[in-house]
Amino acid sequence: MITARGVIKDIEETRKKVERLGAEFKNYYCYTDIVFVPKSGKIDLSREFIRLRVYTVNNWPTKNIVLIHKVTEWLPRGKRDDIILRKEFDNAEEAFDFIRKRFGDFLIKGFEYFREGWEYHLNGMRIFIEDIKGFKPTVEVEALSEEALDEMLEKIGIIERLSESVPEIMRKVLCARM
């Protein structure tokens, strides 16, 4: 799958637009992402990151606490993600113990942010309309080709196509507030 994210003007307007296009509503979700950063050295969270996702509303067949180590390949019009590690936990204590044992020598908790979203499916694509607290409303589309991705983003009417990961964007946003 190829993925791209763009800024949208309004969440409700975009939800109505994708529904008019024939998309099927699948899921409402809320979670906090906790992003871990190196203890020292330069950081590029658009290329690679480790995050703990803690769901408060989760309708997917997964536990409510999920650790992900993701490496991203950026393409001309989107990105491809490679999941290096995905591990689910029953509680936060178990997750933080695992992180401390596995990554504690070189990673620390960097920052966290909350988001809520609405998932839709249309013609083999997944569409995620999200309110990322502290940023702007966005839409992420997962498609089989760059052409399908471009066509859907155009139909949705994004304001700006993003070329950085959400963790990298939020790192910059949160650092600017300090």
- The mean pLDDT value for 7-12 works out to 98
133 CA to centre of own chain:
13
Share of residues in the chain with pLDDT > 90 (%): 90
- The mean pLDDT value for 153-175 works out to 95
Specify the 3-state DSSP secondary structure of 154. Answer: helix
Q: Domains of the chain, with CATH numbers?
A: 2-177 (2.40.320.10)
Q: What is the pLDDT of residues 83-94, one digit of tens each?
A: 999 999 999 999
In 3D space, the residue among 14, 53, 30, 51 whose CA is nearest the CA of residue 138 turns out to be: 14
- The mean pLDDT value for 12-30 works out to 98
Strands of 41-136, DSSP E: 48-57, 65-75, 78-89, 107-122, 125-132
Could you tell me the pLDDT band of residue 178, with boundaries at 50, 70 and 90? low
pLDDT at 4 over 90: yes
What φ, ψ does residue 98 adopt, rounded to 5°?
A: -60, -45
pLDDT of residue 157: 96
pLDDT at 82 over 90: yes
pTM: 0.94
